[in-house]
């Protein structure tokens, strides 16, 4: 009787170790993402001390409930107020050398676009649409919050997307402090700071990572460096405000149709401000010049270098 018991114990120990090994491997084979801090509301002093100074993201859940936009802004309202405006649309097609900087892929009347995203999934998104310029009457529905930072009042931008549409992982050219106000539906957010650049397959002379990485469900056999990336994640719902610190990489996926507005403040860190100036006045123009001179060969070379540089730095063969 003792021998079967010993055999059972040995089998149990081996099985337990195997399961533990699989758990450990499963944990290691994924990006190291932690939930973004969430607060109901916040004072200017608490925001500056706990999030701006240490440059940590935060979701503020109930900060804008006094805005008219909180109760008014949904897709139907936008269709009513802005429906006849023609809006630029972007999708997830790979970058082509013929594309200009932030050049749209299509256009459509806002009313038709909203009907589309309510009816079915689509890759088309509205990106960086300046409501101050296009629909000034919408300014009556919100105020500029006092977070202790000087917000750029001429650049309130709107973003729209249908179910499962997403932005490529990128950071903004000016490395600004961004306040992202979400309306209607749910949105998935993944963030990384600039210290994670070596792990993200960053495209040289660009603000994006490899476009064929699915950050919602990465293939770690193809993109092994991502296992070392440490970042943040959250889901945004109607009325939530996301603070993204200077130069943060961000990937956003619409779980359901919805839209957001972003307000921004210039980078305060001198290094980030210097990078912003370089991006705007040097990098962008150099990249456009090389596209004209070398065509698609330039794009393909940059995509290849994103892999070779990343793997070389990390000793990945």
pLDDT score, position 93: 75
Q: How far is residue 213 CA from its own chain's centroid?
A: 13
The pTM (predicted TM-score) of the whole model is 0.88
pLDDT score, position 99: 67
Angle at 254 between CA 72 and CA 40, to 5 degrees: 60
pLDDT digits (tens, 9 = 90+) for 161-219: 999 999 999 999 999 999 999 999 999 999 999 999 999 999 999 999 999 999 999 99
Q: How far is residue 221 CA from its own chain's centroid?
A: 23
pLDDT digits (tens, 9 = 90+) for 59-116: 999 999 999 999 999 999 999 999 999 999 998 877 777 766 567 788 999 999 999 9
**CA 222 to CA 215: how far, in whole Å?**
12
Look at residue 300 and tell me whether its pLDDT is greater than 80: yes
Residue 306 burial by CB count (10 A; 0-12/13-18/19+): exposed, middle or buried?
Answer: buried
Q: pLDDT-based confidence at 21, cuts 50/70/90?
A: very low
Superfamily of domain 32-314: Cupin (2.60.120.650)
Torsion, Cα 250 254 259 260, to 10 degrees, reads -20
């Amino acid at each position: 009787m003792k021998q079967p018991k010993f055999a059972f114990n040995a089998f149990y120990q081996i099985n337990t170790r195997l399961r533990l090994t699989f758990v450990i491997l499963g944990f290691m084979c994924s990006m190291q993402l932690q939930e973004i801090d969430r607060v109901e509301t916040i004072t200017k002093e608490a925001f500056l001390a706990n999030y701006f100074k240490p440059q940590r993201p935060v979701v503020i859940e109930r900060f804008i409930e006094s805005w008219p936009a909180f109760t008014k802004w949904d897709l139907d309202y936008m269709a009513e107020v802005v429906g006849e405006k023609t809006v630029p649309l972007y999708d997830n097609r790979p970058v082509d050398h013929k594309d200009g900087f932030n050049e749209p892929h299509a256009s459509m009347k806002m009313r038709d676009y909203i009907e589309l995203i309510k009816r079915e999934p689509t890759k088309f998104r509205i990106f960086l649409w300046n409501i101050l310029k296009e629909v000034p009457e919408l300014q009556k529905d919100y105020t500029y919050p006092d977070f202790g930072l000087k917000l750029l009042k001429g650049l309130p931008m709107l973003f729209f997307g249908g179910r499962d549409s997403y932005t490529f992982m990128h950071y903004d050219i000016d490395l600004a402090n961004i306040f992202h106000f979400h309306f209607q539906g749910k949105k998935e957010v993944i963030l990384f700071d600039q210290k994670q650049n070596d792990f993200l397959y960053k495209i040289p002379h660009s603000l994006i990572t490899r476009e064929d990485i699915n950050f919602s469900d990465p293939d770690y056999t193809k993109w092994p460096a991502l296992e070392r990336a440490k970042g943040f994640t959250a889901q945004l719902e109607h009325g939530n405000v996301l603070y993204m610190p200077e130069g943060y990489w961000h990937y956003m996926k619409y779980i359901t149709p919805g839209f957001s507005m972003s307000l921004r403040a210039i980078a305060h860190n001198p290094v980030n401000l210097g990078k912003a100036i370089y991006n705007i006045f040097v990098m962008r123009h150099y990249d456009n010049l090389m596209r004209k001179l070398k065509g698609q060969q330039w794009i393909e070379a940059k995509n290849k270098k994103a892999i070779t540089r990343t793997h070389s730095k990390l000793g990945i063969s």
